[in-house]
Amino acid sequence: MDLSAINPVLLISSLMIAATPILLAALGELVVEKSGVLNLGVEGMMIVGAICGFAIAVQTGSPVLGFGGAALAGALLSLLFAFPTQILLANQVASGLALTLFGLGLSALIGKNFDGLIPPATDKLHVPVLADIPVLGPILFQHDPMVYFTLTLTAVIWAVLKYSRAGLIIRAVGENHDAAHALGYKVVRIRILAIMFGGACAGLGGAYLSLIRVPIWTEGMTAGAGWIALAIVVFGGWRPWRVLIGAYIFGGVTVLQFNLQVAGIALPVQYLAMSPYVITIVVLVIISASKSRAGGPPAALGKIFHASH
Amino acid sequence: MTENLLEINGLTKAYPGVVANDAVSFAIDKGEVHALLGENGAGKSTLVKMIYGLVRPDLGQMNLLGKRFSPPEPRAARAAGIAMVFQHFSLFEALDVAENIALGMENPPKQRELAARITKVSHAYGLPLDPHRLVGDLSAGERQRVEIIRCLLQEPKLLIMDEPTSVLTPKEVEILFQTLRRIASDGTAILYISHKLEEIRNICDSATILRHGKVVATCTPREKSARELAEMMVGCTLHEPLRQAVEFGDVVLEINDLNAPSRSQFGTALKHINMNVRAGEVLGIGGVAGNGQEELLAAISGETTGKAGTTKFMGQAIGNLGPNPRRKMGVLAAPEERLGHSAAPDMSLTENTLLTAASRQNLVKKGFVDWGKTRKFAKKIIAEFDVRTPGAHTAARALSGGNLQKFVIGREVMQNPRVLIVNQPTWGVDASAAAQIRQSLLDLANNGAAVVVISQDLDELMEISDTFCALNEGELTRPRPAKGLTVEEIGLMLGGAADLEAVNV
């Protein structure tokens, strides 16, 4: 085994790339769950975003349009979850699972004609001056715009939830929908908007996989990333920065185990392949073990809201 | 200065199968405290919801300060100057006081500014509040303060209060009343909904009485006795619970130095509880919820087990037994939380009957449920306790609070217990149903059972208890004969409410 083949700078910079799709999906789901809805369809929305983004980017030659289309596709698909759960009061767990299965099938169908194609490349942002700093430059300042967009999104979601009135209303709806309704807030409307936001984020995450990270379309390419995003939201205690840590740990271990495989470590590949999942969850469980009240799940999470008057 | 603030004309609202409000008309003046009286289901809540914009009337109209008023949603009602304190607190436990208050305002200022205003206004009205505490950590009285301050910050013209005193100690009620009088003297009208007639006589200038959705009377409550008011509400003569003078028998339930940990984050651990209840005795335990009431009930029912000797039934140590063996012996309990603790909300009344009556009524044979017998017993409870429901197959959730309460108390009483402990037996139940429940508890004691009643309603405890003690911070005071206890003495026993400031009017 030759550990010197692993370049730490490259390792850390590719960690940020590996984490981005999961972080995007997890941030969207975080907002959804903060509004009191449990959408297990993240995986389905991600992969539909992946193929739609891929298809649009290939057809138009523009990755930007690809990402836009992916977000739109994710948001539209999420309505398939929003309508039964918010209007018809269907069970959220079953509807979410159905959405995942549907998304996997739909993406395979759309993707039939796109196997083996190469998407247009997304330019890397080369931040002037900063990108030329040795070590730090390649790690932090030579990525594609989506990496920075996602980091900004984390900060924005954190600030909106913590400081803005809109964030307060979302949290209130997720905490006690009856009380929010009694105060005159439109619970169903707020939740549908949150679900659509979650869908758009998941779609972006999927498109990031097929347009930048891999970049190619293969059936079932999300490979459980949506489920990891869900787990990260829970173990991250519904806090944006902890979700970021979780996604980066997952991305880091994923990249590290690839490198270890290449370096020829004397461990069966299967163990290495499962390590990101195990390590991420263990670390987040340890972080969230010190339970404070504010770190609990939204009190109305997964509960069906029925206006009684 | 009197001037009509809100005028209600012929307001009608029908739901499938029931007319909740039938041509209701009355008027509220500026600065007036107006009571809305009526039994459960008389249509008070529907009426209030129409004023607050949560429900739209089918017919009729409202005028606010002479202008047509028909709020399409609560936001519009709030903008017009209507504020409401809800019966079931509409608060968010995981959010802090300032955030909760901001949610109830149309145009809240910045959080820091709001926090300063909360501190100022809450002290001005004698209801001190720390804007940064989580609401989940507050007592019931403090939570209500949050609601009231939330309303006052909007400088409302009309403040609606739905059963505001049901969870308060006498001291807290006194402070609330001083605050309300002060609000009214500033020109704000108050619409006050309550079951408690003495309170209404104490604070309200006029009263509108609803029965079956219709206005049956309007009066000045100070000129009527509580009994007259109650009879107007019910529409017939009320029977006060009858207590036969009985000699107490031997000690049936004995608690020796009982300690038990808190059952929830907001509960209180029990510390060195000692008590004896004799056959035929009704022991009333007063105190504000959250001072160990739930824990005490759980320790007696067997939900919490401990050392065998801490709890004795007829001299036999049962402290280490779970609920089922205790039920078999005749130690029964009816906890406070109706949906979820006393009854499984989505199960039918028959199934709920089985859940507590299985062993004592022999409803299970060789592992199989005797549904016929269970249904019969459930029907018997429904008939005997006048539970208004389509039948025993109805889900517990579908019953109104008062009816379900009659059912869960009835279910235990009909099993002929030797010891019965109940927590808040008449919470949210109207006057006639409450009288019925109290009578059934007294009958039980007359027949030689030992009855423990935990309640926050002191009038209720004084009415039915033989012996009174108070539970405060998990400690039980020495029991005293209930007869002859004055309100001051009880207040001293309850001890609490020390952190409240009275308003200097």
Q: Which of A168, A182, A296 sits opposite B99 (nearest CB)?
A: A168
Tell me which residues of chain A, numbers 266 to 305, contact chain B at a CB-CB cutoff of 8 Å. 293-294, 296, 298-299
Bridge partners (DSSP) of residue B420 are B332, B451
Kindly state the helix (H) or strand (E) to which residue B93 belongs, with its residue range.
none
The separation between CA A21 and the C-alpha centre of its own chain, rounded to angstroms, equals 5
Mean pLDDT to the nearest integer, A137-149: 87
- B308 interfaces chain A, CB cutoff of 8 Å: no
Judgement on whether residues B256 and B108 belong to the same structural domain of the protein: no
Angstrom distance (rounded) from CA B345 to CA B365? 25
Nearest to B355 by CA among B324, B311, B321, B325: B324
Contacting residues of B for A171, CB less than 8 Å apart: 92, 94-95
So what CATH class is A3-115+143-295? mainly alpha
Domain count for chain B, please give it. 2
**Treating both helix axes as pointing N-terminal to C-terminal, what angle do B371-384 and B349-357 enclose, rounded to 10 degrees?**
100
* End-of-domain residue from the set B209, B234, B259: B234
**Is residue B298 within 8 Å of B260, Cβ to Cβ?**
yes
Whole-number mean pLDDT of chain B? Answer: 85
pLDDT digits (tens, 9 = 90+) for B450-504: 999 998 877 788 888 999 998 888 888 888 888 878 777 777 787 643 333 333 3
Q: Do the Cβ atoms of B90 and A182 come within 8 Å?
A: yes
Q: B381 and B424 in one domain? A: yes
* Mean residue pLDDT across chain A: 90
**In chain B, whose CA is at the least distance from the CA of A169?**
B103
A286, A24 Cβ separation under 8 angstroms: no
DSSP B395: B
Are B49 and A309 a contacting pair at CB < 8 A? yes
**Contact (CB<8Å) B103/A293:** no
Residue B177 lies in a domain: yes
Note the pTM of the prediction, 2 decimals.
0.73
Domain boundary among B234, B264, B291: B234
3-state secondary structure of B311: strand
Asked if A165 lies within 8 A of B102 by C-beta distance, the reply is yes
B243 in any annotated domain: no
Nearest residue of A to residue B265 by CA position?
A293
B52 and B180 housed in the same domain: yes
Q: What CATH number corresponds to the domain at position B214?
A: 3.40.50.300
Is B217 buried (19+), middle (13-18) or exposed (0-12) by CB count in 10 A?
A: middle
H/E stretch holding B281 reads none
In this prediction, residue B497 carries a pLDDT of 38
**How far, in Å, CA of B83 to CA of A194, rounded?**
29
Of A94, A79, A303, A87, which Cα lies nearest the Cα of A196? A79
Q: Tell me if chain A has a CB within 8 Å of the CB of B75.
A: yes
The torsion angles phi and psi of B256, rounded to 5 degrees, stand at -120, 115
DSSP assigned state of A294: G
Token readout for A36 is 């009191």
Nearest by CB to residue B95, choosing from A165, A171, A178, is: A171
What is the distance in angstroms between the CA of the first residue and the CA of the last residue of chain A? 69
B319 and B217 belong to one structural domain: no
What residues contact residue B68 under an 8 Å CB cut-off, 6+ apart? B61, B62
Minimal Cα–Cα distance from A171 to chain B, Å?
8
Query: Model confidence over B19-63: pLDDT tens digits?
Result: 888 889 989 998 899 998 887 667 888 888 899 888 889 988 898
| Per-window interface: B 113-152 vs A, CB < 8 A | 134, 136-137
Which 38-67 residues of chain B touch chain A by CB within 8 A?
49, 53-55
Domain annotation covers residue B14:
yes
Query: Using CA atoms, how far apart are residues B468 and B115, in angstroms rounded to an integer?
Result: 42
**Which distant-in-sequence residues (6+ apart) come within 8 Å of A94 by Cβ?**
none
Parallel/antiparallel/unpaired status of strands B158-162 and B82-85: parallel
How many CB pairs lie under 8 A apart between chains A and B? 58
Q: What is the pLDDT of residues B360-406, one digit of tens each?
A: 888 998 889 999 999 999 999 999 988 888 888 888 888 877 788 88
Q: Identify from B45, B88, B103 which residue to disrupt to test chain A contact, counting A C-beta atoms within 10 A and taking the largest count.
A: B103
Q: Check whether residue B161 and residue B260 sit in a common domain.
A: no
- Tens digit of pLDDT for each residue in A206-234? 999 999 998 889 999 998 899 999 999 98
Q: A184 and B49 in contact by Cβ < 8 A? A: no
Tokens matching residue A44: 């389905």
Q: Are residues B202 and B166 in the same domain?
A: yes
- Domain boundary among the residues B208, B234, B260 is at B234
Interface of A with B in 121-180 (CB under 8 A): 163, 165, 168-169, 171-172, 175-176, 178-180
Q: At what angle do helices A240-263 and A269-289 cross, to 10 degrees?
A: 160
Record the tokens describing residue A169, joined without a space.
């209303």
Say yes or no to pLDDT of B243 above 70.
no
The chain B residue lying nearest A299, using CA atoms, is: B94
Backbone angles phi, psi at A63, to 5 degrees: -65, -30
Q: Do both B81 and B181 map to the same domain?
A: yes
Q: What is the pLDDT of residues B142-159, one digit of tens each?
A: 888 888 888 888 888 999
Q: Which residues pair with B191 in a beta bridge?
A: B34, B160
Asked if A203 and A27 count as a contact pair (C-beta separation under 8 A), the reply is no
Q: Does residue B236 have a pLDDT over 80?
A: no
Same domain, B173 and B263: no
Q: Which helix (H) or strand (E) holds B272?
A: strand B270-278
**Looking at residue B499, what is its pLDDT?**
33
Residue B500 included in any domain: no
B147 in the same domain as B17 = yes
* Residue B465 and residue B355 in one domain: yes
- Can you read off the two tokens belonging to residue A60? 């138009």
Minimum-distance CB partner of A184 among B74, B89, B111: B74
Domain for residue B505, yes or no? no
- DSSP assignment of B296-336 equals HHHHHHTSS---GGGEEETTEE-TT--HHHHHHHTEEEE-S
Query: Beta B467-472 vs B475-476: how paired, if at all?
Result: antiparallel
Which residues face B193 on adjacent strands? B36, B162
Q: Are residues B137 and B268 in the same domain?
A: no
8 Å CB contact between B350 and B358: no
Distance (Å, rounded) from C-alpha A179 to C-alpha A53? 40
Tokens of B206: 């006029």
**Interchain contact, A168 vs B49, CB within 8 Å:** no
The residue range of the domain holding B453 is 251-494
pLDDT (average), residues A243-255? 91
Half-sphere exposure of B27 (CA within 13 A, CB side): 11
Tell whether B183 and B311 lie within a shared domain.
no
Residue A49 gets the label, from left (phi > 0), alpha (psi -120 to 50) or beta, of alpha
